[in-house]
Every structure is written in structure tokens, then in C-alpha cells.
Amino acid sequence: MPPKSKLGQNFLHDAAATQRIVAALGDCSGHSVVEIGPGRGAITRVLAPRCGHLLAIEFDPELASRLRADFPPDRVTIVHQDVLHFDFAAASAAAGERLAVVGNLPYYITSPILLKLAASHAALDRAVLMVQREVADRVTASPGSRDYGLLSVTVQLYGPVESLFTLPPSAFSPPPQVHSTVFRWRFAPRFAELGVEENSFLAFLRTAFAQKRKTLANNLRAAGYSSQSIAAALSSSAIDPKARAESLTLESFAALFHALKS
């Protein structure tokens, strides 16, 4: 079966990297794991004997039926589905625990998958994901760095992330045009600690980062806040009036969010 580039099919053929991905997930013996996009089973083959049960979600019908023939159904359930429609909450409820997630992601839908995992956070414990290096750089970026932006704050709001290792295109068949980085994400949402409501705070972050070249104050003004309330809120939150969203920590965003509300 020739690889389908429109489904992001770049298959991992570096055995050492596969072992590192599975090791990065930590001990999952006796526990349920979800694999996103098992493809030809490179990760599946190493992971299946080491976890309690593996749910592998594959969108390509031909690969899904081949995987079904390759793996024993008592250990590996192959789900032929678009992962963006997969119900992580139901899978977690059926397993009776929060799930670990692993995947060499189809890069054409990386951001939607990350947002889907964030929205499913209550069902998840941790994820080890391979993404395009530039995306991993953005996800794990710190305030003030070149790569820090809306994707960084959104992902980091749901728990700490750490970059693990990077692979060259030659680790895959066919080789993609980009390097790939594996990162780990531990789901520990920060809403309670920051004292913010999930959806309104996410909407506020989108407003703050609306236009990259504008200052934070200008983005807030464009969203309808008055100049006086912005100046007062920035001052009471100890934020430079000329600051850009790209320089703020999540704690500063939360302080500003509260100040603007009051």
C-alpha cells in the first residue's frame, strides 16, 4: 500500500526512536493507552505488550483492517475513526481511569488534535506526541521567546510540557520535509490555581494574541475595552503599558483578566 501523503503518512522506521517514545510514556502496565494514528504499527508493536489495553485510532480504512489482522483484539482495539471525532471521555469512563495518549501525529491536523486533547483533559493523564519540530518549539516556548504565542499558552494552561528529542526526516518513510520533535504533556489544568473559568479565559487569551504586531493594550482596545480600563488593569497587574502578549506569563494573563473584570 503506497503511503497517502494527504493523511500525513510518514512512517517511523527508527527502532531506537520507537523505544524512546514508548519509554517516555512511563509505566503503563495494567493501564489503558490510546494511540493516535498507528499507521503500520511501529509504535503499536512495542507498546501493546507493555500496557493493559491499547486503543489505536486509525482513519485509513486499509491500514485499520491490516492492523486488526496483525494484533490480538484482547490486547489492541483498532478503532477506524477520525481522531477528531473520538470520544476520549467515554473511553476513559469505560476504562475506569484517566488515559495515557501516544502518537506520531498526522501533521496536517496537529493543532486540532492538540486542542481536542486539551478539551478532553479530564479524561487524560499524560501524552507523548511527535509533531513537526517548529510546532514543538511553539508548544514548549517560554514567555518572551520567539516561539511563544497562543498555542504555547493554550497548551501550557492544561499542564506542563517538556521537549524530549528531535528526529531528522531520514527516520521516516517517506521522509517528511521537516524535522520532528517528541514532547511530553502532563494533564494538570491550571484553571483553579489561577482562579479563572476555562472558556472565558481561553477567549481572553485569543483576544490578547489577536494581532501579533499590536501591543496587548491595542488588542484589548480592538476587542472593545476602554482605554481607561485597560490602563488601570495593566497598572494594577504590574504590566508594562507597551507590553505585547508574547511577553506575559499565564499568571500575568490571569491577573490582567481579573483586573479587567473588576
- Provide the binding-site residues for ligand SAM, judged by CB under 6 A: 7-12, 37-40, 42-43, 57-60, 63, 82-84, 104, 106, 109
Which distant-in-sequence residues (6+ apart) come within 8 Å of 262 by Cβ? Answer: none
CB of 80 to ligand SAM, least distance (A): 9
CB of 56 to ligand SAM, least distance (A): 9
Which CB sits closer to ligand SAM, 27 or 82?
82
CB of 65 to ligand SAM, least distance (A): 13
SS (H, E, C) 110-178: HHHHHHHHHHCHHHEEEEEEEEEHHHHHHHCCCCCCCCCCHHHHHHHHCCCEEEEEEECHHHEECCCCC
> Which residue is closest to ligand SAM by CB?
37
Which CB sits closer to ligand SAM, 60 or 137?
60
Which CB sits closer to ligand SAM, 67 or 157?
67
Which CB sits closer to ligand SAM, 17 or 217?
17
CB of 110 to ligand SAM, least distance (A): 10
Distance between CA atoms of 54 and 107, rounded to whole angstroms?
22
Distance between CA atoms of 232 and 1, rounded to whole angstroms?
62
DSSP string spanning 187-209?
Answer: ----HHHHT--HHHHHHHHHHHT
CB of 141 to ligand SAM, least distance (A): 23
Which CB sits closer to ligand SAM, 59 or 187?
59
182: number of Cβ within 10 Å: 21
- Do residues 104 and 171 lie in contact, with contact meaning Cβ atoms separated by under 8 Å? no
Tell me the β-bridge partners of 182. 130, 165
